[in-house]
Amino acid sequence: GQQVMQIPQYQHVQEGEDFTTYCNSSTTLSNIQWYKQRPGGHPVFLIQLVKSGEVKKQKRLTFQFGEAKKNSSLHITATQTTDVGTYFCQDSNDYKLSFGAGTTVTVRA
Amino acid sequence: DSGVTQTPKHLITATGQRVTLRCSPRSGDLSVYWYQQSLDQGLQFLIQYYNGEERAKGNILERFSAQQFPDLHSELNLSSLELGDSALYFCASSVGGRGYNEQFFGPGTRLTVL
């Protein structure tokens, strides 16, 4: 079945810096959801991307869906300690839900 | 608090045993999803129910089964447990039946098989 690959697996960021995590697939993605899971917590929905080339922003977070719908990215600017956690992308349609392995983010103050 | 409740929070049992995990969705949500999260496998989708009917199936083992009841709560039954079944099991719910609907996750049940 289709696999959703997330890179990098780990991201160590200096507070105040920017970083990007990527979600890639060899086949066309259906709809992308991004979730954040804090340490010891449960996944929390962040955003959904549906259209090719779509870009959505939430404060310091920018989400993008590739033109060919084979990749998605999450870019965080001016990283804060509250950004610590694991970010997952999920590809889903009516009958299939696939999570990427996640990018675990740690922040150096 | 997402509004999704899961019981129990922790479960410790032995290999070969059978356990039942319970999930109550948010008020008004018709879909329930079950996920398994282990350190080496990440989040694995197991199964989805919508308004009492199975809607989508993921990597659910034959030893595992689930159902959604008329009051919309759901149970995940795990039998002939193996050490590798130790994991965090999440339930999520959504209003609609489509997998791309925003899902609200419960706090999880941590299963330890000894």
List chain A residues with CB under 8 Å of B100: 30-31, 33, 48, 50, 92-93
**Contact state of A99 with B106 under an 8 Å Cβ cutoff:** no
Structure tokens at B14: 């032995």
Q: Supply φ then ψ for residue B83, to 5 degrees.
A: -55, -35
Check whether B41 has a pLDDT greater than 80.
no
List chain B residues with CB under 8 Å of A100: 42
**Contact state of B102 with A99 under an 8 Å Cβ cutoff:** no
Residue type, B90: F
Structure tokens at B92: 């999520």
> Mutate which of A97, A103, A104 to disrupt the B interface (most B C-beta within 10 Å)?
A97
For residue range A50-104, what is the model confidence (pLDDT) as tens digits?
999 999 999 999 999 999 999 999 999 999 999 999 999 999 876 778 899 999 9
Check whether A2 has a pLDDT greater than 60.
no
Task: Report the C-alpha gap between A33 and A3 in whole angstroms.
Answer: 15
Q: Supply φ then ψ for residue A100, to 5 degrees.
A: -70, 165
